Structure 1
Amino acid sequence: MLPLIIEPAQLEQELSNPKLLLIDLCNEQTYRAGHIPNAHSVLPQEIMAGTPPAVGKQPDEARLTALFSRLGLTAEHHVVVYDDEGGGWAGRMIWLLDVIGHQKYSYLNGGLLAWKAANFPLTEHLPSPQAAPFKLHVNHQFSVDIDDILAELGSKDFVVWDARSPAEYCGEKVFAQKAGHIPGAINCEWTQLMDQQRQLRIRDDAKAVLASLGIDRSKTIVTHCQTHHRSGFTYLVGKTLGFSIRAYPGSWSEWGNHPNTPVDL
């Protein structure tokens, strides 16, 4: 069994493993220019509902069934995900795997950037389709909605982790009808937990950084951003640290456009 976070050298030794399902979350141009051998492309728009205003909600069951049938996902597969931006899309895919009940997965630390830095091979060859029927079972315990958050606001054991920029959090940048943040939310922008000197790997001191802000294992944590893209990474970080963490896929695009949601500046 591979660990949740793997390094390029570990993955390179597993590439011939028939039970490995490697998923590339880069854009199509990047994928076609060179990807890790045997990696299957999943475009970011395939793992989002795309319906305004809350475009980041999970796709409907028909789309999820079609996606994982195309990939040929089975219970025996160990999925490894990566992207080229530090883990936002890859982390969102891990959340989606949790949602469908498949918890045999890993994240390639540093993604495509770390793979290239290690001088491991890339290919333009497209892997052969391994399509197989997939039976979907949605697990709702990894997601929350507006009512779930409203029910917990003010609880000392509950915290909202806002992964947006400080300017969005403070209402200086506005991408919805309302500006600001969910009352009591703690802001830690997703990029703050990436090691800029090590191909955007997860920072070794991520636990201490978050603890200094009041985000730790003693709390039940919900993370969000604008569309649950950036918070895909913070969800992943939370899992690596053993947090009790869930995602709010509606994120600010839903909360900030809802007529009855409270906000702070």
Structure 2
Amino acid sequence: MEVSDIPLILEPEQLAPLLEHEEVRVVDLSSPQNYLAGHIPGALGLPFQALLAGTPPAPGKLPSIERLTQIFRAIGLTPDTHIVACDDEGGGWAGRLLWTLEVIGHKKYSYLNGGMHAWKGAGLPLSTDDVSVTPSDIEITIAADAPMIDADQIQQRLDSHDLQIWDARSPGEYSGEKALAMKGGHIPGAINCDWTQLMDPQRDLRIRTDAREFLAKLGIDGNKQIATHCQSHHRSAFTWLVGKSLGFPIVAYPGSWSEWGNLPDTPVEN
């Protein structure tokens, strides 16, 4: 496979022969202990915290441009680099990295379907070698078509019925039974589909093969723009990725419930 032909959703057997391409960079967002215990040969470890602003009440918002520049230079990102993201938890942190790349206008990226569970399940080699790369001097900006939306934009569109909200949290958070903010519940009209429902535990946490049909039954079919969120845009980074892989017009709300549920004037249903 040529680097220019790498699909968005990449299987372990497809990735293995690509590892020798210098434009291909695997970035592993697994826990540090899992990464050190064995990673894909040549994969760089990246702590997921690097991708979050980390400031309350909405820690899931984007870091500053300066911080993003530091991160992407450190992993050696250039305009020609094809990033393959993986993690050890079914795609949330990998999705967050890929969403961030899309936000900065870098379109060359893939998700290792099932992440490290699938790589290990396929019996492919692991390495414990230290990995270092030459830093780049890339300049980072937020793309004009960045797939994100803020609380004000959502509020303005709640009555126009041209935006669908995909709430990727647990049913308990959605109902308000479990409140992780000042207010519990959900954005009016939001459809709840817990992120884990899109993973197939029988196939090493790969994206379920019937994702399109499963979502359509819930009313998420891509006929309207979709905004996905969770508590801090970690779980919803995976649902953004699934939506993108299905060709849906999907954006993410990085403020997520940690912001919406703590703002004084945001409407809530439960």
Q: TM-score range by the shorter chain?
A: over 0.9
| Residue in structure 2 matching 1:3, options 2, 7, 20 | 7
Q: 1:53 and 2:57 equivalent?
A: yes
- Runs of 4+ displaced beyond 6 Å: none
Q: 1:197 and 2:202 equivalent?
A: yes
Partner of 2:242: 237
Partner of 1:253: 258
Measure the CA separation in 2 of the matches of 1:23 and 1:61: 20
- Give 1:216 deviation, angstroms: 1.2
Judge conservation of contact 1:142–1:246 (CA < 8 Å) in 2: yes
Q: 1:207 and 2:229 equivalent?
A: no
Partner of 1:30: 34
Partner of 1:129: 133
Judge conservation of contact 1:154–1:184 (CA < 8 Å) in 2: no
- Give 1:81 deviation, angstroms: 0.3
| Residue in structure 2 matching 1:97, options 98, 101, 122 | 101
Q: Secondary structure at the match of 2:161?
A: coil
- Give 1:155 deviation, angstroms: 2.7
Partner of 1:187: 192
- Which is worse superposed, 195-204 or 147-156? 147-156
Judge conservation of contact 1:71–1:129 (CA < 8 Å) in 2: yes
Measure the CA separation in 1 of the matches of 2:137 and 2:206: 35
Aligned partner letter, 2:164: V
- Give 1:158 deviation, angstroms: 1.3
Measure the CA separation in 2 of the matches of 1:170 and 1:15: 45
- Give 1:32 deviation, angstroms: 0.8
- Which is worse superposed, 65-74 or 139-148? 139-148
Partner of 1:85: 89
Measure the CA separation in 1 of the matches of 2:49 and 2:101: 16
Measure the CA separation in 2 of the matches of 1:229 and 1:83: 12
Q: Secondary structure at the match of 1:222?
A: strand
Q: 1:165 and 2:163 equivalent?
A: no
| Residue in structure 2 matching 1:119, options 114, 117, 123 | 123
Number of residue pairs the alignment of both structures matches:
265
Measure the CA separation in 2 of the matches of 1:234 and 1:128: 31
- Give 1:157 deviation, angstroms: 2.6
Judge conservation of contact 1:157–1:220 (CA < 8 Å) in 2: yes
Measure the CA separation in 2 of the matches of 1:92 and 1:153: 25
- Give 1:56 deviation, angstroms: 0.1
| Residue in structure 1 matching 2:74, options 61, 70, 73 | 70
Measure the CA separation in 2 of the matches of 1:4 and 1:166: 29
- Give 1:217 deviation, angstroms: 1.7
| Residue in structure 2 matching 1:177, options 169, 176, 182 | 182
Measure the CA separation in 2 of the matches of 1:67 and 1:213: 37
> Cα deviations across residues 140-162 of structure 1 (Å, max 9, x unaligned)?
53111011101111333310000
Provide TM-score, normalisation by structure 2. 0.97
Over the aligned positions, Cα root-mean-square deviation in angstroms equals: 0.8
Aligned partner letter, 1:249: P
Aligned partner letter, 2:186: H
- Give 1:21 deviation, angstroms: 1.0
Judge conservation of contact 2:200–2:206 (CA < 8 Å) in 1: yes
Structure 2, unaligned runs of 5 or more: none
> Cα deviations across residues 117-174 of structure 1 (Å, max 9, x unaligned)?
1110111101222211120121253111011101111333310000000000000101
Measure the CA separation in 2 of the matches of 1:229 and 1:180: 18
Partner of 2:48: 44
> Cα deviations across residues 69-126 of structure 1 (Å, max 9, x unaligned)?
1011001111100001110000111100001110110000000000001110111101
Measure the CA separation in 2 of the matches of 1:130 and 1:194: 35
- Which is worse superposed, 150-159 or 104-113? 150-159
Measure the CA separation in 1 of the matches of 2:94 and 2:151: 25
Q: Secondary structure at the match of 2:228?
A: strand
Partner of 2:149: 144
Measure the CA separation in 1 of the matches of 2:141 and 2:49: 21
